[in-house]
Structure 1
Amino acid sequence: MSRSRELLASLISFDTTSRESNLKLIEFVTDYLTQFKVPYELIFNDEKSKANLFATLGPSDCQGIVLSGHTDVVPVDGQHWSTDPFQLTEKEGRLYGRGTADMKGYIACVLAAVPGFLAAPLRMPIHIALSYDEEIGCLGVRSLINELEKRTPKPQLCLIGEPTTLQPVVGHKGKLSMRCDVHGAACHSAYAPEGVNAIEYAADLITQLGRIARDLRDARLCDARFDPPFSTVQTGIVHGGEAINIVPADCYFDYEIRALPTQDPREINQQLEQYAEQRLLPNMRAVNAASSINFSELSSYPGLLTDTRSVAAQLIAQICQSDDFTTVAFGTEGGLYDAIGIPTLICGPGSIEQAHKPDEYISIQQLADCDRMLEHLTLTLRA
Structure 2
Amino acid sequence: MTQTLDILERLIGFDTVSAKSNLALIDYVQSFLADRGFQVHRVPDASGQKAGLFAVLGPVGKGVMLSAHSDVVPVTGQDWTRDPFRLSVDGARAYGRGTTDMKGYLASMLALADRASKITLREPLKIALSYDEEVGCVGIQHMIGKLERTIGAPRACFVGEPTEMQVAVGHKGKAALRAVFLGQGGHSALAPKFLNALHIVGDFLAELRKVQDTLAMVGARDEAYDIPYSTVHVGQLSGGTALNIVPDRAEMIFEYRHLPADLPQDILERIQSAASKALTPFLRQFPHAAIEIDPYNAYPGLDVPADAEVVVTAQGLAQTNGTTKVAFGTEAGFFDALGIPTIVCGPGSMEGQGHKPDEFVTLDQLALCDGMMDRLLSQLTGASDS
- Scaled by the length of structure 1, the TM-score of the pair is 0.95
Q: Say if 2:181 and 2:201, in contact at 8 Å, map to a contact too.
A: yes
1:341-352 matches, within 5 Å, as 341-352=339-350
Q: Report the secondary structure of 2:201's partner residue.
A: helix
Q: Say if 1:105 and 1:349, in contact at 8 Å, map to a contact too.
A: yes
Q: Distance in 2 between matches of 1:238 and 1:142?
A: 27
Q: Distance in 1 between matches of 2:113 and 2:150?
A: 23
Deviation, 1:149, is 4.6
1:141 aligns with 2:137: no
Q: Say if 1:149 and 1:340, in contact at 8 Å, map to a contact too.
A: no
Deviation, 1:141, is 1.1
The equivalent of 2:321 in structure 1 is 323
Deviation, 1:217, is 1.2
Q: Which amino acid aligns with 1:314?
A: V
Q: Distance in 2 between matches of 1:269 and 1:203?
A: 19
Q: Distance in 2 between matches of 1:30 and 1:149?
A: 19
Q: Which amino acid aligns with 2:40?
A: Y
Q: Distance in 1 between matches of 2:149 and 2:261?
A: 26
Q: Say if 1:176 and 1:299, in contact at 8 Å, map to a contact too.
A: yes
Q: Distance in 1 between matches of 2:80 and 2:121?
A: 43
Q: Report the secondary structure of 1:218's partner residue.
A: helix
1:92 aligns with 2:91: yes
User: Using a 3 Å threshold, how does the CA distance of structure 1 residues 105 and 153 change in structure 2: closer, same or farther?
Assistant: closer
Q: Say if 1:312 and 1:343, in contact at 8 Å, map to a contact too.
A: yes
Q: Which amino acid aligns with 2:302?
A: L
Q: Say if 1:195 and 1:287, in contact at 8 Å, map to a contact too.
A: no
The equivalent of 2:176 in structure 1 is 177
Deviations 1:92-141 (A, max 9, x none): 21111000000000000111112322344322211111000000010011
Q: Which amino acid aligns with 1:142?
A: Q
Deviation, 1:274, is 2.0
The equivalent of 1:34 in structure 2 is 34
Q: Report the secondary structure of 2:381's partner residue.
A: coil
Q: Report the secondary structure of 1:217's partner residue.
A: helix
Q: Report the secondary structure of 1:381's partner residue.
A: helix
Q: Distance in 2 between matches of 1:176 and 1:242?
A: 29
The equivalent of 1:3 in structure 2 is 3
Q: Say if 1:175 and 1:258, in contact at 8 Å, map to a contact too.
A: yes
Q: Distance in 2 between matches of 1:152 and 1:121?
A: 18
Q: Distance in 1 between matches of 2:163 and 2:280?
A: 49
1:67 aligns with 2:78: no
Q: Distance in 2 between matches of 1:192 and 1:369?
A: 64
Q: For structure 1, which segment, 291-300 or 45-54, has the greater mean C-alpha deviation from structure 2 after superposition?
A: 291-300
Q: Which amino acid aligns with 2:11?
A: L
1:238 aligns with 2:272: no
1:93-112 matches, within 5 Å, as 93-112=92-111
Deviation, 1:247, is 2.5
User: Using a 3 Å threshold, how does the CA distance of structure 1 residues 262 and 300 change in structure 2: closer, same or farther?
Assistant: same
Q: Say if 1:42 and 1:54, in contact at 8 Å, map to a contact too.
A: yes
The equivalent of 1:252 in structure 2 is 251
Q: Percent identity?
A: 41
Deviation, 1:34, is 2.4
Q: Which amino acid aligns with 1:341?
A: G
Q: For structure 1, which segment, 349-358 or 285-294, has the greater mean C-alpha deviation from structure 2 after superposition?
A: 285-294
Q: Report the secondary structure of 2:216's partner residue.
A: coil
Q: Distance in 2 between matches of 1:315 and 1:275?
A: 45
1:372 aligns with 2:368: no
Choose which of 317, 326, 336 in structure 2 pairs with 1:338: 336
Q: Distance in 1 between matches of 2:219 and 2:18?
A: 39
Q: Say if 1:101 and 1:361, in contact at 8 Å, map to a contact too.
A: yes
Q: Report the secondary structure of 1:136's partner residue.
A: coil
The equivalent of 1:186 in structure 2 is 185
Q: Report the secondary structure of 2:255's partner residue.
A: strand
Deviation, 1:304, is 0.4
User: What 5-or-longer segments of structure 2 have no aligned partner?
Assistant: none
The equivalent of 1:291 in structure 2 is 289
User: What 5-or-longer segments of structure 1 have no aligned partner?
Assistant: none
Q: Say if 2:69 and 2:131, in contact at 8 Å, map to a contact too.
A: yes
Q: Distance in 1 between matches of 2:281 and 2:148?
A: 47
Deviations 1:290-317 (A, max 9, x none): 2211011232111101112212111111
Q: Say if 1:64 and 1:156, in contact at 8 Å, map to a contact too.
A: yes
Q: Distance in 2 between matches of 1:40 and 1:327?
A: 32
The equivalent of 1:166 in structure 2 is 165
Q: Distance in 2 between matches of 1:87 and 1:97?
A: 6
The equivalent of 1:200 in structure 2 is 199
Q: Say if 1:194 and 1:287, in contact at 8 Å, map to a contact too.
A: no
- Scaled by the length of structure 2, the TM-score of the pair is 0.95
Q: Report the secondary structure of 1:315's partner residue.
A: helix
